[in-house]
Structure 1
Amino acid sequence: MFVVSLRFSANRSAAGQHMPGHQEWIRRGVDDGVFLLVGGIQPGLGGAIVAHGTSREELESRVAADPFVAEDIVSAEIMEIAPWLADDRLKFLLA
């Protein structure tokens, strides 16, 4: 399981221009079953994604394809989590 942090960079002003492509990239990740949760880092610092069912290499390629990453609107950090305990509602993450 992974947490992807997408923090705004100095090129943040270009976000509006690339927002449709970024939103499509997010939808594709959800539709593919890789992105489990997507949300904003408050207050307006960027976004975060919980990803599952993929390898680090595949996720790195997916993240590099985000227009926000490609256009340096955000900087991406991928953190891998090796879960060993979960609430019953999240047990599927332990598989």
Structure 2
Amino acid sequence: MYIVLLTYTAPLPEIDYELPDHAEWLARQFEHDYFLASGRRDRHLGEVIITRPMARGKLDAVLATDPLALKHLAHYEVVEFAATKTAAELRTVNEAIAR
């Protein structure tokens, strides 16, 4: 499982212009069942994405297709972790086999 910390590297007007394409990209990742949650970070610094378990190379390939990455408007920090405790709603995710 991963937490992706996305930090904007361009002025907010440039980011805002690309957000509709980024939102469509996010929607596709949820449709593919890759992402569990996403949202903006405080003070509009960037975003946080929580992913399902998958191979790191696959995650890197998915992130590389983000319009913000393609236009070099954001930096991505990926934190891998193994959840040892989860809420009942997340137990199936915790027990999921990496894809």
Same fold (TM over 0.5): yes
Unaligned runs of 5+ in 2: none
User: Alpha-carbon deviations, 1:1-26, whole Å to 9, x = none?
Assistant: 11111101135442233222211110
Instruction: Give me the whole-angstrom Cα distance separating, in 2, the residues matched to 1:59 and 1:30.
Output: 13
Equivalence for 2:61: 61
Instruction: Give me the whole-angstrom Cα distance separating, in 2, the residues matched to 1:17 and 1:43.
Output: 18
Instruction: Give me the whole-angstrom Cα distance separating, in 2, the residues matched to 1:55 and 1:11.
Output: 32
Asked if 1:15 corresponds to 2:45, the answer is no
Task: Quote the offset at 1:72 in angstroms.
Answer: 1.5
Equivalence for 2:93: 93
Count how many residue pairs are aligned between Structure 1 and Structure 2.
95
Unaligned runs of 5+ in 1: none
Equivalence for 2:24: 24
Asked if 1:75 corresponds to 2:78, the answer is no
Instruction: Give me the whole-angstrom Cα distance separating, in 2, the residues matched to 1:79 and 1:22.
Output: 21
Task: Quote the offset at 1:48 in angstroms.
Answer: 0.7
User: Please, what TM-score do these two structures have when normalized by structure 1?
Assistant: 0.89
* Root mean square deviation, CA, Å: 1.4
